[in-house]
Amino acid sequence: MNFAYCHRITDVSMLGNVHTLNLSSCRRITDVSMLGNVHTLIFRRCSGITDVSMLGNVHTLNLQWLRITDVSMLGNVHTLDLSYCKNIIDVSMLGNVHTLICRVVEK
């Protein structure tokens, strides 16, 4: 399901059994705790999301440009994209992640 740029969406709690979910730039979404069973999640530029702790069972997780700080519960994610997440300091718990992508903005 592709809901990218659907700026009015606020509640995604009933989408927990979807296989692939793209919510890029859906900035009003704040609670993603019910999406832990989704296979592929894309939250690129979802500025309202600050807690991703319940997403540890997601296979592929794209969190580009999020303002998250704690990724300690994401150690079982297979492919994790944390590109441009400037507030993350500690990635020590991500040792089991198969593919970790962390691009940074070059000045």
The phi, psi pair for 37, rounded to 5°, reads: -100, 0
pTM of model > 0.85: yes
Architecture of domain 1-107: Alpha-Beta Horseshoe (3.80)
Give me the residue spans of the domains in the chain. 1-107
Q: Tell me the pLDDT of the chain (107 aa) as tens digits.
A: 999 999 999 999 999 999 999 999 999 999 999 999 999 999 999 999 999 999 999 999 999 999 999 999 999 999 999 999 999 989 999 999 999 999 987 76
Residue 38's φ and ψ, nearest 5 degrees, are -70, 140
